[in-house]
Each structure stands twice: as structure tokens, then as C-alpha cells.
Structure 1
Amino acid sequence: MNEKIIKEGLTYKDVLLVPQRSCVKSRKSIDISSNLVKGINLMVPILSANMDTVTEYEMAIAMARMGGIGVIHRFMSIGEQARQVEKVKRSESYRVDSPYTLEPDKTLGEARRAMANYGVTGLLITDNAGKLQGILTRRDVVYEEDNKKLVSELMTPREKLIVAFDHIAFQEAKKILARHRIEKLPLVDNDGRLVGLITSKDIIKTMEHPDATKDERGRLRVAAAIGTKDGALERAQELVKAGADVLVIDIAHGHSEMVLETLDLLKSNNIGVPVIAGNAATPEAARDLISAGADAIKVGVGPGSTCITRLIAGVGVPQFTAVLECAREAGKYNIPIIADGGIAYSGDIAKAIGAGASTVMLGSLLAGTEEAPGITLTKNGRKYKVSRGMASLGANINRNSNKDTENSEYVAEGVEAMVPYRGSVVETINQLVGGLKSGMSYSNAMNVPEMWK
């Protein structure tokens, strides 16, 4: 017992990377890509945290476009979280497999409501058999005042459309769009049934973000958080159905029976996507979570700037030591480690990866960005946004605001803070990536595995 009490533990502030003789000629040549889980590689090894002031669909889209990934928080209804996932999955793909459709006998008013609800500027018109009848775009209706007019009277009919058959190649679709100067290319099968849609907007996005984190169908990847209590399986199944690529079991103390039981529940029900479990702080926790089926381990108990678990509960392991020890254990099973919390500077990312982490999760550093949820406040002439730990009183009140439950026994383990407005998350991530590459250059590491050495 005494040995455990006096064992040394280190935070990121306590350590520095020792400069090495370096053969790195240019930081541009450094490869920072790393596995999130087996089968999912991130060109930028950064996750945006599953906090309600950090990640909803806008942040998740931005992170995936840059080569990272966002974890949509769980403090909303199952349906709303699933819709957030769907927004990410539909935001970018050179091909849309299930485009929004409407029947030709619907009214213009119904069409306008559908466009507003889906957030699109056009609808493909199909009959009851799914055969393409035409297309209705904003330009077809912008000057029309009679909302009772039928879609069939306003749409561009099938015979005037340029269409392509299913399985058309990406480059060929580009040529057709350019040749005919059109923005939408409907895809049909041999019987004329609608099977997909390719848009010039999505092709341009694909070319603008070559490092984007995408699935095999060209859609942006997204992760989503779940809890451990009743309804966890239902939430997980709905999120996977909506397109979530990864699930994250979100609980402060990951080395608990609740997490182990939830892992077993998900795996025994063949959930179908990788599951990240946490948060862990010891090699024993990492070992137990891996044995229960975790595909990656999130490490960090209390290191975050808005987390006060260590002050309230007196519990935690200094983060550099926690990452180092958990990574050693997880490495025996080839399971990646995600360093979650305690990162204030780009140098801390380099230290976390040097300690063995494959990726890092950022919360407060991203909470002040434009893409983070919440309003921007102005105080004394400066802009701020709110950041809070998910165990804070405010977060607890927010997620229980629609429940008839008492919170008299709740003890907050997080705080709320106003963080400076940072502008676009793209700028913040670019600065952090630059610092990480600089640290790797000093360490003579051309890639993440070399950094681990």
C-alpha cells in the first residue's frame, strides 16, 4: 500500500521531450496520421470532445473535413442525437444514396416545407414505384406565389434531365456535370428507378478536403457518445442506424461494472461499429476494458480544465503518467489509446503521443471556436463562449431540464468557464498541428509510431 501512495506521477507540465539528432528536413514531410480504432485512420490525430459546449454536428463536420473526428455528445434525446449524426453523414459525399424525394401530386407549399425541413435547395420527384419523374429546385419556384400549385406543374420533367446510370465513376460524373453545366446528376437503374444523386457541390467539397475522414461511401465519419444506464442499447442502435461510425461510452469513471456491462451488452448484440470505452487512468482499467471488448481506451480522470473530480473526489492519476501506463498495457493487445484532457498547448499533444497515445481529445481548446455549440458573448469588448465540464452543475441541470427528477444529491465534479472566442476551429487545429509537427521534428520522428519510440 505504501508503494502505491508514494509512487511518482507526472502531468504534461512536469515533463519535456528531449531533443534528438534529427534527420527531418521539412515538417511538411512528417506524417501525423494515426489509428482511432482498427480500420479507421485519422490524418489529424485529434477528436473534439463529447461535451455539450464542444461537439454537435457543425463541429463534427469541421473536424472530419480536416482529417480528425468529432464525438457528438449524448445530452439530448435519442432522436435528436441521431438527427445530428445524419446531418454529418449527409453533409458531404460525392454521391447521395438516398436523396430526398417528393411525389408529383404534392403541392408547392408541401415542397417548400420539405426543403426547409431537410435543409436542401432541391427535391427529386418520383412516382409510387420510385421511378424518376423530374426535379424541383429553388430556381423553379422562387417567383411562384401560389403554394397550392402541384409539383408536377413546376418541376423540370424527366425528359429534360441529364441522368446517369448507377455505379458511374467519380471522374466520369465530373465530366458530365462540367459538359452540361449542371449542378445535379440523378442516378437511375435500368428500370428508371432513382438510386442516387451526385452534385457538383459535393464533388467540389471532396476536392477541397483531400485529408477528410471518410467512410467507404465517401461520407464524413462521425462518432457519438452513449451512457451506461437504461436505454444505452436503444440509443446505440439508433445512432448506428443513423450512420455513426464509432460509439463512445461516456462516463467519468470507466473502470466500473456499468461500463463493463454496457460493453458486453453492445458486443453481444452485434452493434456493428467499434466501441471506445473510458475514461481510464490505470493499466488495470485498460486491461479490464480491453477484455470486455473495447476497441480503444479513452484515458483521463480529472485532468481537464473544466473538470474538478480531483478536487471534489480526491481521485485521479496525473495525465502523462496515466497515458504512459495505459498505453503500455494496451499496446500488448494493439488497442489504441486516446489521451483525453489536460491539453493546454500543442506541446502537450506531442507529449501525449510521445507517451503512447494514438490520438488526443480536446475540449476547452475547441469550446471557444465558431463551430462549437452555444452563443458568443461580449464582455468588456472581448468575445467569449461558454465551456463546462460534463459533470458540472449547469450541464447536469441542462440534461435534466425536461425530467421530473430531483437533483438534491448531485455533487458537481466540473465547472463552467468563459473561454475566449477563437474564430474558426480550422485555425485552431492548424496551429495545433503545426506545434505537433514541430515537436516530432525535434524528436526525430517522421510519423506517430516513431514518436512512440
Structure 2
Amino acid sequence: MARILAEISRTFGEYLLLPNLTDERCTPGNIDLSAPLVRHRVGELAPIRVATPLVSAIMGAVSSVELAIALAQAGGISFIHQNQPISEQAGMVAAVKRHKAGFRHNDVNIKPSATLDEADTLFKRTGSDVIVVTDDGNPSGTFLGLITTQDFNFIRHRRDEVVDSRMRTARELVTGAEGMSLAEANSLLWDSRQDVLPVVSADGRVTALVHRRDEALHHKFSNETVDAAKRFRVGAGVNTHDYLERIPALVEAGADVLCLDSSDGYSVWQQNVLAFVRKEYGDAVRIGAGNVVDGRGFRFLADAGADFVKVGIGGGSICITRDQKGIGRGQASALAEVVAERDAYAEETGMYVPLCSDGGIIHDSHMAIALAFGADFLMLGRYFARFDESPTNKVKLAGQVVKEYWGEGSSRARNVARYGQGKDLAFEEGVDGYVPYAGSLYDNVTVTLAKLRSTMISCGAISLRQFHDTARLVQVSQQTFVQNSEEVQRNERPTVA
């Protein structure tokens, strides 16, 4: 006979936080949002941490190279999706790892004989605002100059004019020498009054670009997610089918952390992958697992060696697993049980296995609720899909600018490896749609972090650990929902007839 749990499945939107005493320590500058990304001994720091407890979902519509770099700058980390050939995923990981904090790799190049129309296409395709001009149009070519979006305008210039006619030549530019420190590069950048400083090797190749805006971003976010060599950290998704080939390729490409990508992680297949990683790499390779919705699933994966465990089934904005299969649990209920099991596991074993809450977040306030429930960090899809840095197209729909967004369980993604449906996708567990365009990741993450800090201040907490331990939540009634959703007509200035 089926066992029926004596609970109602709850979501984050059904709870509110109660304020605690705010004391003198509770100021925005004192709030520490850093979190462990991988397992560690209780009382010790995790070997990989993030200053911002936000990670991007393992989705083709979300985690591009550009977004991975931007999110690492903002203190989080991205997971490059696995629904692609191994060589392409490894190439994306390697592309992120080529960038060091403050030093960007020379990824966007063009020949001087190319047309301004070709340059314009390249700007739009890459999202870059500067292109390095080399003799052969390749990163390894001889540096000839730079062309930016400010160097031409099609009201004044013809599309068939060549790049050579509008670029700033290498002779006109101040350049840095290979091997210089970031402090030296930034000083030279400001002294030159340039927005970009090319760092050039003795044989005339651009080895890096230093952007004025990156220094401002460093001061804005303070703690980029970097490895010991100051390269941006990046994660990568793996599956339980081709892991014997995919994992070594990703490790070789430089992936800092891996994550099993599945809607249901409570399986011997994930146990087998974790066993392979521990046998082949020991603790040198870090790998998370999931997703689970109860304590049994957490303990199974923690015992199998998972470095973190993802919580959530069916709560994603583009996930329809609950509708299609009748499987899942409200994200708040799932997280509450798994957090209790995580803490019991830490008490019993002395090993803390972080939790990633994946799904169920609609508003920024839900992020605060998830962290209060005890999540160490949050995996977000829809949130990041809205930004300039995500890989999807901007389109206009009913007069509104939107970005394309699809689930890994949709026909568009056809991610059969993630959903275990054999060679063909028999039915969908995700949808294909659009999300409102929201602009820059940097601007939006800044606002989100400000809200999280403000919430923690009101709750009297200055660290996420303290927030976990002292937050008080109350379930809200239907009348609370009604009160919060009452519409008010905006007071607009009357027009003069």
C-alpha cells in the first residue's frame, strides 16, 4: 500500500520572514554572502567557495561562455551544459579558463580588409564592444589595431568600407607588455586614457586585453570566483551515459567543478558516476549530484561521495515534470527536509555537504526565503536567461523585448541523456518560451545582492550561516496573498487640455 506523507507540499511563496533584532554590526558592508560550493570538514573552509551564492543552471539557453565570465566576475559560478558534443562543451570550458581576473583573452578578431558590415555582424554576434584587428583575423595573428562600436556609424559610413579605414592602429595605441601585473596594466590604462589596453608579446601578438570597466566591476563585487592562478572558475554538467569520455575531457579543459545533470538523482546510475570519479581522481575532481527532494535521496548521494547535492524536482519555471509524471515536491518542503538531513549528516560524520536549491524561485524575495531555509547556494535558469550575457536571441513579442528560453526537457533541447528516455524523447518534461529581457547581468545581480543584504540586516544576520541558524519564518494565509496582490492605480499627472 502506498505511503501518504502527512504534509502539504509548500513553496517559497507561502512563507514570510519575521524580523530579528538589528544591531550595530548589521550594515551592508558587513554582510557576508559567501558560501561553500563543495564538501568540507566541519569547522574548516571549503576548498571552493563563492562570494555570491548564485550559480547558473546547466542549460543551453543560459550558461554561455560570456555569462560564465560575467557571473564569475560577480562572485558566482556557471555550469556549462552537457547537451552537446563533448569537444564543444570542453571548448567552452577552456574558453572561460583562458580569462584571468582583469586580463581577458583575445577571443574576437577580424582582418583589416573586412568590411564594416562584417565588423557590425561580429559585434552583434559576440556581444563585444571591441574587436582586435590582426593580419589574418586570428588571435595568433600580428596585432594591427582595435576597432570599437564607437569608431563607425552607418549614418556617416558605408557598410562596404573596410575596417582598416576606421580602426585605431597599433602605432596610435598605448600597449602593455606581456607579463606585466594587473596593477601596472590598470595604471597604464588610466594614464593612456584608453578604454582598452592591449597586452602585446615580443613577437607582436595580443596575449590579453585589460578593460577599464573590469576594474570598476572588481571594486563593485570585490571577490571574483577565481582559482589559484587567478583564472575564472567554471563548472560543467555531466550525465550518466557518456561520463567515461566526457569527464576526462572536461577535467583536461580545466573545469573546476562538475555536476550530474538529471531531474531525478536518487539512482544507482549517479552512484556509479560518483564511484568512477573517486576511483580515478580522488578528491582532485569535485562533482555535485541530484536532484533530490527528501532526506533519503540526500544521504544516498552524500554517502556515494557527492561534493554537493541539488534539491528540487518539478519546481523550475519551464519544468513540467510534475504535470507529465506526477513526481515532485514543493521546493520549500523539499528543502526543509533535506536541510535537516544535511545537518544530521554533518553531526554524524563531521563532513558538511552543501545544498544547492534548484527551482521554485520567481522573485528575488524567494531567494532570501530559500537561503533562510538553509540552502547554501541557488541554481537559477530563468533569472539568468533574461540577461545580455545569456546565449539566446532577443526578439520583440507583442511590443515587448524578450529572450528565448527553453527547458532541457523540451523538444527543442531534446536532452534525452538528462531525462533517461532512451534514444528518443518520447514526451516533454520542459517547455519552450520566452522571458522578459532584463539587460546586463552585472546591473541585475547588483540589485539582487542589495535586496539579500537588506533582508539579512532586518533578520539580524551578517553571514549566511547565521541566517540559516536564526531566521524565523511564518506560513502565510490566503488572505495575506490577497492583501499583497491588491492593485493600486498609479497616480499620474493630469494632462492639460
- Taking structure 2 as the reference length, the TM-score comes to 0.72
Query: 1:9 aligned to 2:9?
Result: yes
Partner residue of 2:274 out of 263, 279, 285: 263
Does the CA-based 8 Å contact 1:94-1:198 persist in structure 2?
Answer: no
Query: How many Å separate the matches in 2 of 1:170 and 1:435?
Result: 32
C-alpha spacing 1:142/1:431, structure 2 compared with 1 (3 Å) = closer
Counterpart amino acid of residue 360 in structure 1:
L
Query: 1:347 aligned to 2:365?
Result: yes
Query: 1:46 aligned to 2:47?
Result: no
Query: How many Å separate the matches in 2 of 1:172 and 1:382?
Result: 45
Q: Which residue of 1 aligns with 2:379?
A: 361
Query: How many Å separate the matches in 1 of 2:369 and 2:315?
Result: 14
C-alpha spacing 1:26/1:6, structure 2 compared with 1 (3 Å) = same
Structure 1 residue 439 displacement after superposition: 1.9
Does the CA-based 8 Å contact 1:93-1:217 persist in structure 2?
Answer: no
Partner residue of 1:205 out of 197, 214, 220: 214
C-alpha spacing 1:283/1:220, structure 2 compared with 1 (3 Å) = same
Does the CA-based 8 Å contact 2:321-2:327 persist in structure 1?
Answer: yes
- Mapping for residues 368-387 of structure 1, pairs under 5 Å: 368-387=386-405
Could you tell me which runs of 5 or more consecutive residues in structure 1 were left unpaired when the two chains were aligned.
Answer: 101-106, 110-115, 125-133, 145-154
Structure 1 residue 178 displacement after superposition: 7.8
Query: How many Å separate the matches in 2 of 1:41 and 1:351?
Result: 21
CA deviations 1:159-189 (Å, max 9, x no partner) are xx9857x6x655466668888999455679x
Does the CA-based 8 Å contact 1:249-1:277 persist in structure 2?
Answer: yes
C-alpha spacing 1:376/1:290, structure 2 compared with 1 (3 Å) = same
Structure 1 residue 13 displacement after superposition: 1.7
Structure 1 residue 64 displacement after superposition: 0.9
Q: Which residue of 2 aligns with 1:439?
A: 455
- Mapping for residues 132-211 of structure 1, pairs under 5 Å: 136-138=143-145, 170-171=182-183, 183=197, 200-201=210-211, 205=214, 208-209=217-218, 210-211=222-223
Does the CA-based 8 Å contact 2:101-2:230 persist in structure 1?
Answer: yes
- Mapping for residues 51-450 of structure 1, pairs under 5 Å: 51-94=59-102, 121=132, 136-138=143-145, 170-171=182-183, 183=197, 200-201=210-211, 205=214, 208-209=217-218, 210-229=222-241, 231-270=242-281, 272-331=284-343, 332=346, 333-396=351-414, 407=424, 410-450=426-466
C-alpha spacing 1:204/1:413, structure 2 compared with 1 (3 Å) = closer
Query: How many Å separate the matches in 2 of 1:95 and 1:54?
Result: 24
Counterpart amino acid of residue 393 in structure 1:
S
Structure 1 residue 431 displacement after superposition: 2.5
Structure 1 residue 300 displacement after superposition: 0.6
Counterpart amino acid of residue 390 in structure 1:
E
CA deviations 1:113-150 (Å, max 9, x no partner) are xxx9x9973789xxxxxxxxx964447x9759xxxxxx
- Taking structure 1 as the reference length, the TM-score comes to 0.78
Does the CA-based 8 Å contact 2:274-2:305 persist in structure 1?
Answer: yes
Does the CA-based 8 Å contact 1:65-1:212 persist in structure 2?
Answer: yes
Query: How many Å separate the matches in 2 of 1:398 and 1:275?
Result: 21
Q: Please, what is the CA RMSD of the aligned residues? A: 3.8
SS in 2 for 1:298: strand
Does the CA-based 8 Å contact 2:408-2:414 persist in structure 1?
Answer: yes
Counterpart amino acid of residue 26 in structure 1:
T
Counterpart amino acid of residue 356 in structure 1:
G
C-alpha spacing 1:136/1:320, structure 2 compared with 1 (3 Å) = same
Structure 1 residue 251 displacement after superposition: 0.7
Counterpart amino acid of residue 7 in structure 1:
E
Does the CA-based 8 Å contact 1:228-1:258 persist in structure 2?
Answer: yes
C-alpha spacing 1:406/1:187, structure 2 compared with 1 (3 Å) = closer
Query: How many Å separate the matches in 1 of 2:112 and 2:383?
Result: 45
Does the CA-based 8 Å contact 1:85-1:222 persist in structure 2?
Answer: yes
Query: How many Å separate the matches in 2 of 1:232 and 1:390?
Result: 18
Query: How many Å separate the matches in 2 of 1:205 and 1:29?
Result: 24
Q: Which moved more, 1:244-253 or 1:307-316?
A: 307-316
Does the CA-based 8 Å contact 1:327-1:336 persist in structure 2?
Answer: no
C-alpha spacing 1:7/1:197, structure 2 compared with 1 (3 Å) = same
Q: Which residue of 2 aligns with 1:26?
A: 27
Does the CA-based 8 Å contact 2:56-2:78 persist in structure 1?
Answer: yes
Query: How many Å separate the matches in 1 of 2:375 and 2:328?
Result: 18
Structure 1 residue 242 displacement after superposition: 1.4
Query: How many Å separate the matches in 2 of 1:274 and 1:249?
Result: 11
Counterpart amino acid of residue 447 in structure 1:
S
Structure 1 residue 353 displacement after superposition: 0.9
Does the CA-based 8 Å contact 1:345-1:432 persist in structure 2?
Answer: no
Does the CA-based 8 Å contact 1:187-1:198 persist in structure 2?
Answer: no
SS in 1 for 2:429: coil
Counterpart amino acid of residue 381 in structure 2:
G
User: Percent of aligned positions with the same letter in both sequences?
Assistant: 30
Counterpart amino acid of residue 438 in structure 2:
R
C-alpha spacing 1:121/1:108, structure 2 compared with 1 (3 Å) = closer
How many pairs does the alignment contain? 410
SS in 2 for 1:16: strand
Query: How many Å separate the matches in 1 of 2:308 and 2:416?
Result: 29
Does the CA-based 8 Å contact 1:177-1:185 persist in structure 2?
Answer: no
Query: How many Å separate the matches in 1 of 2:176 and 2:320?
Result: 60
C-alpha spacing 1:441/1:379, structure 2 compared with 1 (3 Å) = same
Does the CA-based 8 Å contact 1:76-1:399 persist in structure 2?
Answer: no
Structure 1 residue 365 displacement after superposition: 2.0
Query: How many Å separate the matches in 1 of 2:461 and 2:339?
Result: 18
Query: How many Å separate the matches in 1 of 2:193 and 2:399?
Result: 47
